[in-house]
């Protein structure tokens, strides 16, 4: 696996290492009920900071993970998109592609654009055979992103998430998947440029 954090650029976005200055904006989106509608609960500032620290550690330790996303010359931080080990949730070894963007940046195609770049990295640099994504049954916004990036639902792997109470409507989860062969058969992978990321997230 590649050493150190990576930076990925797309036509409009930069997926990069996290910076200390990202944390207030991250805390704001984690406290936004629109963003957190399908998560167990909104996060306090302390919880958000601890999550950011854990994401940063994983990026440094394994060289990939949930990258901070910025729109160069427009917005310094709009959320995260990237890859994450999912065995803790699923109970078997798997890698998921995931995203969490501030609500004011929804509706512009940023999530699928960044997610396609993350998939390209996963299937290319990491040589992963399959990447999954999952969300609550009613989260049609995220499900549309999964479909836009070429993923298909695997009904046999839908599950109930232990992160939610037994009576929660969010407990029922749908799982989408895409294989390397499926991804290679599409034209979606074009346009991502991957390079080493310098301290502080500057791309060389």
Q: Which domain holds residue 135?
A: 6-201
In a domain, 116, yes or no: yes
What token pair was written down for 57? 């550690």
- pTM, two decimal places: 0.89
**Residue 118: inside a domain, yes or no?**
yes
- Find, among 69, 60, 197, 186, the residue nearest to 123 by Cα: 186
pLDDT tens across 95-117, in order? 999 999 999 999 999 999 999 99
| Termini Cα distance of the chain | 20
131-175 pLDDT per residue, tens: 999 999 999 999 999 999 999 999 999 999 988 999 999 999 999
CA–CA distance, 19 with 203 (Å, rounded to integer): 13
Selected residue with higher pLDDT from 6 and 46? 46
Provide the number of structural domains found in the chain: 1
Residue 61 lies in a domain: yes
Vertex 17 angle, CA 110 and 85, to 5°? 80
Is position 47 within any domain?
Answer: yes
Query: Is residue 126 assigned to a domain?
Result: yes
Q: Residue for token digits 């963003």?
A: 35
Asked whether residue 68 is assigned to any structural domain, the reply reads yes
Instruction: Give Cα separations from 196 to 43, 53, 56 (angstroms).
Output: 31, 20, 15
In a domain, 1, yes or no: no
Query: CATH number, domain at 186?
Result: 3.40.630.30
């Amino acid at each position: 696996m590649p050493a150190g954090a990576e930076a990925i650029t797309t036509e409009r976005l930069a997926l990069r290492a996290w910076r200390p200055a990202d944390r207030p904006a991250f805390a704001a989106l984690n406290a936004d009920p629109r963003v957190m509608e399908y998560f167990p609960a909104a996060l306090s500032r302390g919880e958000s900071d601890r999550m950011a620290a854990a994401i940063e550690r994983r990026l440094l330790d394994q060289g990939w993970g949930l990258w901070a996303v910025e729109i160069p010359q427009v917005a310094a931080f709009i959320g995260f998109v990237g890859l994450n080990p999912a065995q803790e949730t699923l109970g078997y070894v798997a890698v998921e592609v995931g995203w969490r963007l501030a609500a004011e940046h929804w509706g512009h195609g940023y999530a699928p654009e960044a997610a396609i770049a993350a998939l390209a990295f996963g299937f290319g640099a990491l040589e992963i055979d399959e990447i999954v994504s999952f969300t609550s049954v009613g989260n049609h916004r995220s499900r549309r992103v999964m479909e836009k990036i070429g993923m298909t639902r695997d009904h046999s792997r839908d599950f109930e998430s232990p992160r939610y109470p037994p009576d929660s409507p969010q407990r029922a989860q749908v799982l989408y998947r895409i294989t390397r062969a499926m991804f290679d058969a599409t034209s979606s992978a074009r346009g991502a440029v991957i390079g080493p990321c310098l301290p502080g997230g500057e791309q060389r």
